[in-house]
Amino acid sequence: VVEVRIYEEEDEAAVVALWREVFPDEPAHNVPEEVIARKLGVQRELFFVAVEGDVIVGTAMAGYDGHRGWVYAVAVKPSHRRRGVGAALMARVEVALRAAGCPKLNLQVRASNRQAVAFYEKLGYAVEDRVSMGKLFSGDD
Ligand SMILES: CC(C)(COP(=O)(O)OP(=O)(O)OC[C@H]1O[C@@H](n2cnc3c(N)ncnc32)[C@H](O)[C@@H]1OP(=O)(O)O)[C@@H](O)C(=O)NCCC(=O)NCCS
């Protein structure tokens, strides 16, 4: 039985290991321990893990900025895929964001990640005609 619950401090090592396994090509600025530390300072109640017994098998990290919700780091352990864990994580995110008054959830997927697009389409998400832009704050300028 897989349960979705809010992230707790003692989950850190397992979540870091899961992300390193699922997202091996993350850019250098996404250091997992730093990502987690920042999230614990901002809406930490929107950071979820899926657990089977005491094993972490999935994550989803969401936020609501007052206009849109966003979700990141939706990840399921390869050994536990196609069992509804990803869908359960997204359902929990949606419930939490709706409860906060959020009218729409956005997310980004790498254009090459067809499996993730298929997953989100199954859950009712549509590919929208947008260009994704970003600016990295280096921290010293
Ligand atoms: C995308 C991901 C989170 C899906 O997790 P999951 O637990 O396997 O998903 P679910 O079992 O809840 O799948 C729900 C439905 O989505 C669709 N789906 C899921 N994975 C799919 C795939 N690889 N190909 C096609 N459809 C897929 C199916 O319709 C599935 O229902 P079904 O199994 O009854 O056919 C998981 O594959 C993953 O961690 N991928 C790597 C990380 C990633 O790409 N994250 C998203 C971008 S940040």
Ligand 1 contact via 110 beta carbon (within 6 Å) = no
Q: Name the band, by pLDDT with cuts 50, 70 and 90, for residue 30.
A: very high
**Contact call for residues 86 and 76 (beta carbons, < 8 A):** yes
- What is residue 66's predicted lDDT score, i.e. its pLDDT? 98
User: Is the whole model's pTM more than 0.75, yes or no?
Assistant: yes
Q: Which of 27-31, 129-133, 135-139 has the highest mean pLDDT?
A: 129-133
- What is residue 138's predicted lDDT score, i.e. its pLDDT? 82
Q: Which residue from 133, 120, 116 is spatially nearest to 90, judged by alpha carbons?
A: 120
Span from the CA of 120 to the centroid of ligand 1 (angstroms) = 8
- Mean pLDDT, all residues of the chain: 96
Span from the CA of 115 to the centroid of ligand 1 (angstroms) = 6
The preferred substitution site among 52, 109, 119 for testing ligand 1, maximizing ligand atoms within 8 Å of CB, is 119
- What is residue 141's predicted lDDT score, i.e. its pLDDT? 59
The preferred substitution site among 82, 89, 94, 110 for testing ligand 1, maximizing ligand atoms within 8 Å of CB, is 82
Q: Name the band, by pLDDT with cuts 50, 70 and 90, for residue 140.
A: low
Interval 39-98: pLDDT, tens:
999 999 999 999 999 999 999 999 999 999 999 999 999 999 999 999 999 999 999 999
Ligand 1 contact via 109 beta carbon (within 6 Å) = yes
**Contact call for residues 58 and 80 (beta carbons, < 8 A):** yes
* Sign of torsion over alpha carbons 113, 4, 35, 46: positive
Question: DSSP states of 76-102 as a string?
Answer: E-GGGTTSSHHHHHHHHHHHHHHHTT-
Q: Quick count: other Cβ atoms within 10 Å of Cβ 109?
A: 16
- pLDDT beyond 70 at 123: yes
- Phi/psi of residue 12, each to 5°? -55, -50
Across residues 14-36, what is the average pLDDT?
Answer: 95
